Amino acid sequence: MKRIFLFVATNFAIMIVLGIVLSILMPMLGLDQSSYSGLLFMCAIFGMGGSFISLLMSKWIAKRSVGAHVIESPNSAEQRWLLETVRRQAQQAGIGMPEVAIYDSPEINAFATGANRNNALVAVSSGLLRNMTQDEAEAVLGHEISHVANGDMVTLTLIQGVLNTFVYFFARVVANVVNRGSNNAMVYFMTVMAFQVIFGMLASIIVMWFSRYREFRADSGGAMLAGKEKMIAALQRLQGNQMESQLDGKLTAFGINGKRAMAQLFMSHPPLAKRIAALQNA
């Protein structure tokens, strides 16, 4: 869950910065805001470009945002078990061996991220290792490996890139209509930024819907890699845990446990009860 929230937040920040750059470059390149074909082309470059920059930076950002320590040479039975379990599941899923890391946090959580299926990172919290049985932890690792094998990060990037493009585009189209007849560049710029934030929030609803959908797929994948009963037990353990995810940004969406939201539309993960029921009825 952590990884998705971090991805979305980082993308949103990049989108705002690139939106400002786009607003500066458009007049410098001689592209009029009313020239919609040229505007759409520039928005596509910045929208897709920002999303892929976020994807390429995802592992680097993830490691530093949680202080993850990558296991190079295991120095305990627990670390050896962790590496061997990830290696076995990666082989079963047909992906390259991910980097495996532990980060210090009391929460029960884990996440996976990376630009492609053969260059990923799987990280688990110290709280997960302390509070879950090996069977439960194995299921969580299977869930994260399934995210990688399903190519969720790349798919999310493509969706986010397309949405970013239209956020940039429609923010400027609407601002152009609202400020028609006005030559105040600062008012126009502030209007663009305001609509960019509004449309960006609406776009995040679509991103969160996809995030919730792919959680069910990852749970199913975890059940295949570790066993259905182990996956259900892991989710039930999370259900009994009252601590909210401490992951930030995109990472939230790619963790096993997510943040609570005021509205279900903005939740990166489905309610745990629904996830457990989906596995029980599978």
Written as six digits, the tokens of 94 are 């047909």
What residue type is 259 in one-letter code?
A: K
Q: For 151-207, what is each residue's pLDDT tens digit?
A: 998 888 888 888 888 888 888 888 888 887 677 878 888 888 898 889 988 888 888
Distinct helix (H) and strand (E) counts, the chain: 10, 5
pLDDT at residue 228 greater than cutoff 50: yes
Residue 84's domain comprises 2-280
Q: Give me the catalytic one of 107, 136, 144, 215.
A: 144
Contacts for 244 with CB less than 8 Å, ≥ 6 apart:
107, 259, 260
Q: For 20-29, what is each residue's pLDDT tens digit?
A: 666 665 555 4
Instruction: Count how many domains the chain has.
Output: 1
pTM of the model: 0.78
Q: Hey, what's the torsion of the CAs at 147, 149, 155, 160, to 10 degrees?
A: 40
Tell me what the mean pLDDT of segment 52-63 comes to.
86
Contact 167, 200 (CB under 8 A): yes
Name the residue with higher pLDDT: 88 or 12: 88
Separation CA 266–CA 259 (nearest Å): 10
pLDDT score for 14: 61
pLDDT at residue 262 greater than cutoff 50: no
Please identify which residue in the block is written with the tokens 């009029």.
32
Burial of 240 (0-12, 13-18, 19+ CB in 10 A): exposed
Other Cβ atoms less than 10 A from the Cβ of 29: the count is 9
Other Cβ atoms less than 10 A from the Cβ of 43: the count is 25
Tell me what the mean pLDDT of segment 69-93 comes to.
96
Written as six digits, the tokens of 100 are 């495996």
pLDDT at residue 140 greater than cutoff 50: yes
Summary mean pLDDT of the chain = 83
| Catalytic residue check, 144 | yes
pLDDT score for 90: 97
